[in-house]
Amino acid sequence: MMQATALIADDEPLLREILEARLAAAWPELQIVAQARNGRQAIELFEQHQPTICFLDVHMPGLSGVEVARHIGKRAHLVFVTAFDQYALEAFEQGVLDYLVKPVAAARLGETVERLKARLSQAQPAVHSEALLVQLAQRLKLNQPEPLRWVRASVGASLRMIPVDDIDYLKSDTKYTLVAYRDEGQAAEALIRMPLKDLLAQLDPAHFSQVHRSVVVNLRSIRRLTRGDNETGEIELKGRSERLPVSRSYLPMFKEM
């Protein structure tokens, strides 16, 4: 049997670590060649490493696991990992896709490992159903809430409703998030009591993207990206003097733009 390799894609670092550890125990010969934190990175790393198996979180920022699966097609064996078993359960019951429910149980993972080993040992092609993936993708969109349109922030003694379209960037500040926005065209700032991660999950991924562990930027506010040393970068914004850092892991995203 060929050397099995795998990619793990999940936006929760801890859940990636747990799945990696349990795979190491259940299948020591399996080589984890890459881990992705979102759908776009999953596609990029898949094309780079061409793993034989992909463990895909159904709900990821940007592109869902189902959309990533449609890109991969029959080029890898797919296993969906989800906290929302109604979607994957339907697919699995139709006998075409494998899935794991979070938190991944060791016994259930063992069953999946045995199925994957059997397919690989018999050189079976990857299971793929474009029609079913289309249905799942449509259902996911129907169940996704509308992107956030306003952010409520305290500015002095007043409460301000900031249109999301007016936000230039967001920056994590311990328990708070700094909101840098436009107030009648002028640069302004406010603090809100929502963690950056929670706020990012409610923003439209077509317009907002994380570029650093502590920074999310409105893509429409970017004037220029300058590449720096060690595969990092720096963002210059329209009408603002401050510069935003782009860490190495987020820089490849700009290759797609």
pLDDT at 199 > cutoff 90 = no
Please report the pLDDT score of residue 163 as a whole number: 93
Question: pLDDT-derived band of residue 26, with 50, 70 and 90 as boundaries?
Answer: very high
Question: pLDDT-derived band of residue 207, with 50, 70 and 90 as boundaries?
Answer: confident
Would you list the DSSP string of the chain?
Answer: -PPPEEEEE-S-HHHHHHHHHHHHHH-TT-EEEEEESSHHHHHHHHHHH--SEEEEESS-SSS-HHHHHHHHGGGSEEEEEES-HHHHHHHHHTTS-EEEESSPPHHHHHHHHHHHHHHHHTTPPPP--HHHHHHHHHHHHHHSPPPP-EEEEEETTEEEEEEGGGEEEEEEETTEEEEEEEETTEEEEEEESS-HHHHHTTS-TTTEEEEETTEEEEGGGEEEEEE-GGG-EEEEETT---EEEE-TTTGGGGGG-
Average pLDDT of the segment spanning 72-95 = 73
Average pLDDT of the segment spanning 181-190 = 91
pLDDT at 89 > cutoff 60 = yes
Question: pLDDT-derived band of residue 186, with 50, 70 and 90 as boundaries?
Answer: very high
- pLDDT tens figures, 154-170: 777 778 899 999 999 99
Please report the pLDDT score of residue 257 as a whole number: 52
Please report the pLDDT score of residue 214 as a whole number: 92
Average pLDDT of the segment spanning 64-72 = 86
- pLDDT tens figures, 227-253: 888 888 999 999 999 999 998 877 766
pLDDT at 194 > cutoff 90 = no
Average pLDDT of the segment spanning 122-139 = 72
37 or 1: whose pLDDT is higher? 37
